[in-house]
Amino acid sequence: MSEATEISPEQAALDIKALNLFSRQNAALGAETTAKLTKMKVLIYGLRGVGVETAKNLALQGAGAMTLIDSNLVEERDIGVNFFLTSSDVGKTRSSIVAPKLKELNPLCLVTTAKALDETTILNHSAVVITQILPLDQLLSLNALCRTNNISFFYTFTGGVSVDVFVDHGDKHIVNDFNGERPIQKLITDIVPLSDSETLIRYETPEGQQPVALSSGFYEVSEVEGVEPINSGIFAVTRDYKDPVKTVRVPYAFPASLKYKSGGLLTEKKVPTPYPMESLAHKLKNPGDTYGNPPTLVLTDLINFGSEVQQHVAFYAVATFFTELGRLPAPNSAEDAASTVEIAKRLIADGSIALESFDLDEKIVSRYAIHAGVELQPMAAFIGGVLAQEVVKCTGKFTPIPGFMHFSAPEALPNEAETPSAADTQPRGSRYDELAAVYGWPFVEKLGNLKYFMVGCGALGCEFMKNFALNGVCCGPKGKLVVTDADRIELSNLSRQFLFREHNVGQPKSRAAGTMAKVMNQNFNVEAMELFVGPKTEDVFNDTFWESLDGICNALDNMEARLYVDRQSVIYEKSLLESGTMGTGGNIDTVCPFKTRTFAEGGNAAEGGGVPMCTLRNFPHLTDHCIEWARDQFELLFVKLGKSLEAYLQDPVLFESKIKDKAGSEPGAAFFDIRSVTSFAKFAAHPSIGGAAQLAFDVFHFLFRDRILDLQAAFPADFRVIDEKTKEDKGPFWGEKKRYPTVAVFNPDDSAHTDFVLSATCLFSVMVGLIPPKKENDDSWLQEYRDKSWIVGIAAGLTPPPYLQAPVNSDGIDNAPAMDKEALDGIINGLCDDLRSAAADIKLTQPFEVADFEKDDDLNFHIAMITSAANLRCDNYSIKRTDFHSCKVIAGKIIAAIATTTAAVCGLVMLELFKLQLNKDTDSFMNRAIGLSGYMYTSFTAEAPNKMVTTTETIAPSPDEPLPADAYDERGVVKEDYKEKVVRRAYPENHTIWDKLTVSGSLTLKEFSDWFLTEHGLKMRSWDFIYGHKTSTDLESKAKQVQGVSAPVYPPKPVLDYSLLPSLDLTLQQATMALMKSSAKPTQQYLALWREFKAAGAVPPQPAITEDVITENSTLKQILQRMVVLADEAEAQGLVETKAISSLTGRKFVVIPGGETPLCVHAETNEDIEHMCAIKIVL
């Protein structure tokens, strides 16, 4: 390491801690942007709701320094929007209270206060954020000062359910990355000249990536063979509408003497681009166009066309009102609202706003003015997230708001007929004064007495608990919030889960968050639990629990749990607030019983696929493929390898049998498995650091030498694909998606080589107890082994294992050479002999210490091992290497998460909670999608539940089916009379997922069948009860599919009465005749039983009928109990992963979902019921 880059051990430890702290943020913003944030100096003026939310988010995201200005004294109403304030702070200056508490969020952030917003103070900062209203002339002056000195300027105003943001980075702003997405990559398949100055490039999408078409942007060309001069060129790609699909044009003069041969990558390059911005004075007069290209005014309302410009006029009018009168319009003052409307008309008339042929919507202006003097906490949380993210864009990352953004949620206001009375909106000197000013005191009381269930308490959960506490939700005498989260706090949580501090690391999330939230509101009634929510905890979260709730709020980060809670909301008919974030993107979905679709119905539950196994195994062509492969090898080496040796020692015969079976289908994997176990056995028999290094060295050669040699032997570089039937030459085997590999030769000067051997040596040593496992926060663990010279010295004495050729697995490979089974069996037998010899001296007294993969500890060798393995794999296939951080994000499947998106999403969710309490209709609920990397704030009205209706499908005969001549009309089309009409019935007609048919659990199976017929006109044909689910994975595509596991219930298997059997002395013919004349039915089953007993020579005693046997006399409750037993047994045997039904103890009812109800037909038409309503069985 050069002197310029040397750092002290203390600084190194601090850097590692910072990387872990911001690992999720780095996945969204990039480490470079996070580093720029640490050097940023931000001035924030105004510390009510928006100001403190913005400051909080910037502190969490690592801002280097913040100066706070707000000399106003704390009032009681401030406590309802500023989470750092309490009643004991009333009468003190806001900044003096906020500054020390903000410092706790990020000790690395320098937090100071200033008394005045003067020029000297401003010039010491890189960004100025104004969150408190000022006279227009002062705002314009401040903006001009900032523009002159290249200081980013931000202004925001919030009133009621409306917010406005202005952003100005100056006329010299540069955007380095407009969207923050990972660079798109395409595989080049051909390059041809179009003209003297233009070239056409054909491309294909790599495995595992979305097939996005290219049309613009900058792309680097690399790894092309045949037209080498084009490599390393960065081109602005274009596309003509006449061009073939999957092609782009580049400005390149194709050399006439060259011809494209093979290979090549197109990689998107993020090129710095000028993004000049306009002043506040200009944008006030010229707000912009929401539909421009690009937009110059942010589009926020897809329902009410032009509302953004109407709100701009209202914003300007209120700002003018304040400038002229020194105050904001009084809350709920019709007189002040009317005055604001007149000001708006004046601004349009005198040209202060340049709008041609503009019709002012006085209702919008009046509604804006009515609550302009009210700061609602949900809007403060939302815009605090938006504004903080806009400050992040000072770094050149992402696309800034192009001047103004005007956002409003008028649908969240009380309906006109339900507007609270003047008396109900008067201030009471309470923290809820502003909330009551919009919604009234009865509404505030209603929020306080809500009983809610919050599932999850991570980033979303922390924000929700803060919002609940500030708005008084669950803070009344009858209110209660039950929050559950089984996780404990980790260091990486602190950069986005703001209720946690460093001293909370290791504590339960739900309990730590509950304690902090109660500081914000001592009346907050929180019950914290540490349980997962799912089938296994239905004894706790039972019918009584769910029925007691007013609603559910999800704060989850995994799809399985979300879908489970979604199903529970349907069963118990409870509203569900659903939301999620991914980096700078977020979504909000409101589920309201009988009014909206469920989360599953809404289509947001889709998950992407993976990379085909064949690609990972033999033909990677992207760095990501190598990282995913390396992650699999980590599991194979440091988890499964130890378990494999344990399995061998317990039952050598069984182990060898499995290896031989595997060799038949996956010979390469079988060779690797048994050779690795043999090497591990030699090491385990006589443990030493040198032995661990030799094992690591063996594995190095097995993975990066032997497997490549196997591929080269099976498919030489000139191998060609021949059609087996036509013998046609289909071209070379190796191409853009199959790169010809090269063998790795250990090089002590290559850090990837030495890092692999070092990491594997240490991890193998831990497995056998030579080295103690790393303890959490022990940054000195194995410090003496981390010097490269140490492992280089050991490696010099290591011996490469001999190469043993293995056949290549032919799955997914055309023209793979056939395996010589006899030779293969001989080799496997020899390898089994080697393993017996190696394992003979092992005396295993305790299980091996397998690795528990931990992505957030950079010193445990886990990510280091995967990074080095991935880079060695990249070298095998001439793919660009990765780095430690990128590998950590991909291998650790780190979900990009940042505080700003979380805050914005949770603020908007609170508005949806308000709507639920206002009993709004379907069109008032909003499904929102936000994208803070740009300025996407789209909202769609929620959709009503899907209604199931009867349909008729006409099916034409197959072309192969012979038809008479008159079956065709004069055009040769099959006539309607010859087409099959299939009726797909729904019952009841127009039912939704929320509807249920209710039946008593005391009914017998026969009575249940009769109930269908008499009450509903349906005949029950069959019923296979689904008692559990399991997931199957396609080995090639990695696609997962959930399948139901069921047991037959109807028709019940008949119970045969032994007393009705004919005498065993009769002949078969006589017995048959006797049964046909008797009441013994079904005849064939009785006859089969008679033959069985005749062969045995006697009729055994009649077995007793138990509850295990389902008969027509079994009650529905008994049947359910039997299904519980089957589900428990299946789970114990590993046949199901999740149970569809758990214990009936304490249960009041069971709901059979629509897709799992009995199969029925219409009694009169005999048509199948394809869409049956859910059935609620009351116990």
What are the residue numbers of the active site? 614
What would the two tokens of residue 257 be?
Answer: 């003497």
CA distance 641 to 637: 5
Full DSSP string of 636-678: IIIIIHHHHHHHHHH-HHHHHHHHHHHHHH-HHHHHHHHHHHH
- Among 781, 798, 775, 592, smallest CA distance to 695 is for 798
793 contact partners, CB below 8 Å, separation of at least 6: none
Block residue for tokens 């047991």: 1047
CA dist 966 to 515, 956, 960, 977, Å? 81, 15, 17, 10
Find out whether 602 and 925 touch, Cβ atoms under 8 Å.
no
What would the two tokens of residue 573 be?
Answer: 């008919």
Block residue for tokens 């206001």: 413
CA dist 25 to 398, 435, 491, 896, 1113, Å? 14, 33, 13, 6, 61
What would the two tokens of residue 725 be?
Answer: 């039937």
Amino acid at 894: I
Question: Which residues on adjacent β-strands are paired with residue 225?
Answer: 262
Block residue for tokens 């650091």: 689
SS (H, E, C) 64-91: CEEEEECCCECCHHHHHCCCCCCHHHCC
Cis amide leading into 287 (omega within 30): no
**φ/ψ of residue 102, rounded to 5:** -65, -35
CA distance 904 to 35: 23
- Among 1042, 962, 1024, smallest CA distance to 1152 is for 1024
- Among 375, 364, 372, 387, smallest CA distance to 332 is for 372
Start-to-end CA span in the chain (Å): 73
Question: Which residues on adjacent β-strands are paired with residue 222?
Answer: 265
* Signed CA dihedral, 1081, 1085, 1086, 1087: sign only: positive
218-222 and 234-236: which strand pairing?
antiparallel
CA distance 42 to 151: 10
DSSP state of 1109: S
Coil/strand/helix, residue 634: helix
Burial-class residue 841 by CB neighbours within 10 Å (0-12, 13-18, 19+).
Answer: exposed
Amino acid at 1175: I
What would the two tokens of residue 412 be?
Answer: 């969240």
Full DSSP string of 728-769: -EEEES-BTTBPPP------TT-HHHHHHHHHHHHHHHHHTT
What would the two tokens of residue 172 be?
Answer: 């010299």
- CB atoms under 10 Å from CB of 252, counted, come to 20
- Which residue pairs from 819-828 have beta carbons closer than 8 angstroms and sit at least 24 positions apart in sequence? 819/667, 821/664, 824/663, 824/667, 825/660, 825/663, 827/671, 828/659, 828/660, 828/663, 828/670, 828/674
H/E segment holding residue 869: helix 862-876
